[in-house]
Amino acid sequence: MLRIRNLKCFYGRIRAVSGVSLSVRRGEIIALIGANGAGKSTLLNAICGLHPQWNGEILIEKQSLSGLKPPDIVKMGISLVPEGRMLFPPLSVIDNLKLGAYVRYRKKEHREIEGDLGTVLELFPVLKERMKQPAGMLSGGEQQMLAIGRALMARPRLLLLDEPSMGLAPFLVRLILDVLVQLKGQGMTVLLVEQNARAALQIADRGYVLENGKVILDGNASELLTDHDVKRAYLGKDYREFYEGRA
pLDDT in tens, 54-80: 999 999 998 999 999 999 999 999 999
**132, pLDDT greater than 70:** yes
Which pLDDT belongs to residue 105?
81
pLDDT band of residue 101 (cuts 50, 70, 90) is very high
Catalogue all structural domains in the chain, each as residue range(s) with its CATH number: 25-52+63-77+161-247 (3.40.50.300), 86-155 (no CATH)
Mean pLDDT of 20-45: 94
Q: For residue 102, what are the contacts with CB-CB under 8 A and spacing of at least 6?
A: none
Which pLDDT belongs to residue 98?
95
Q: Is 126 exposed, middle or buried (0-12, 13-18, 19+ CB in 10 A)?
A: middle
Which pLDDT belongs to residue 233?
65
Which pTM value belongs to this model? 0.90
Which pLDDT belongs to residue 63?
93
Which pLDDT belongs to residue 48?
95
Share of the chain above pLDDT 70, in %: 94
Q: How far apart are CA 80 and CA 167, in angstroms?
A: 18
The chain-wide mean pLDDT, for the chain, equals 90
Count CB-CB contacts under 10 A for residue 63.
10
Indicate the Cα dihedral angle 191, 195, 200, 201, nearest 10°. 100
Mean pLDDT of 173-197: 93
Q: How far apart are CA 54 and CA 188, in angstroms?
A: 27
DSSP per-residue string spanning 79-111? EEE-TT----TTSBHHHHHHHTTHHHHTTT-HH
Mean pLDDT of 228-235: 69
Mean pLDDT of 144-156: 96
Q: How far apart are CA 7 and CA 147, in angstroms?
A: 27
pLDDT band of residue 111 (cuts 50, 70, 90) is confident
Which pLDDT belongs to residue 85?
92
